[in-house]
Amino acid sequence: QVQLQESGGGLVQPGGSLRLSCTASGRSFSRDTMAWFRQAPGKEREFVAAMFRSYGRTYYSDSVKGRFTISRDNAKNTVDLQMNSLKPDDTGVYYCAADSRLILSSIYGAQNYDYWGQGTQVTVSS
């Protein structure tokens, strides 16, 4: 059974940092596109960052570029999201997603991913 499990969310002050981790199980995800999305209350789920297949190239939304870093450890079947200089607008539920068949232009759409974690809450507030 394929599963994705996020961890690492919490409450942090503006300007602070958090590191999210997603552990995949059930099969190897080393060739999948792995991504992070987030969803704020009343808003649609939005793309945050992705690592495209096994090529190692990373992609970010404009709102997090320069502050967030996505990384993966294929040996551990994990993908992390290091979040620095956090802002209140970064608040939301963060989801890990994976898919083995995406083309590059499709990585930004949540509807294109087959596998999802249950999400972890990130709250940025003073």
**Whole-number pLDDT of residue 88:** 97
pLDDT in tens, 17-48: 999 999 999 999 999 999 999 999 999 999 99
Round to whole Å and give the CA distance between 40 and 95: 11
Region 50-71 average pLDDT: 95
The owner of tokens 């999948």 is 32
pLDDT in tens, 64-107: 999 999 999 999 999 999 999 999 999 999 999 999 999 999 99
Round to whole Å and give the CA distance between 34 and 51: 5
The CA dihedral of 101, 34, 53, 28, to the nearest 10 degrees, is -80
Tokens found for residue 92:
């939301």
Burial 73-102 (b: 16+ CB within 10 A, else e): eeeebbbbbbbeebeeebbbbbbbbbbeeb
